Amino acid sequence: MTDITLYISIQDLCDSERIEQAVVVDIVEYGIASPIRADEDEAYVFDVENAYWLKKALQLKKELEIDWVATALAIELMKQNEVLRRENQSLQQKLQRFI
């Protein structure tokens, strides 16, 4: 089976979210999202997962009225929670085979 990866450019992302490129640069600098490719002129390209976290960060910052440091911390905790949920689900499936 072939894996399909979707990409979005920084320009398309900024247009869809109605934000400036400088905001995306800030988000990348805080480690919230990582571009899969970055040119010298900061022409970032993001995969779907990183675009999701970038959008989630924008939403959190706006709704909670917090700074980028707090947003980065919240996103990191959300990412860890997601990993732990997937791991837990996998372990539960393995356990069900033995019951």
DSSP 7: E
Per-residue confidence (pLDDT) for residue 9, from 0 to 100: 86
Q: All domains of the chain, ordered by start, with CATH?
A: 7-98 (1.10.1660.10)
What would the pLDDT profile of 5-64 be if each residue is shown by its tens digit? 788 888 888 999 999 999 999 999 999 999 988 766 657 889 999 999 999 999 999 999
Banded model confidence at residue 2, pLDDT cuts 50, 70, 90: low
Range among 14-18, 36-40, 83-87, 92-96 with highest mean pLDDT value: 83-87
pTM (2 d.p.):
0.81
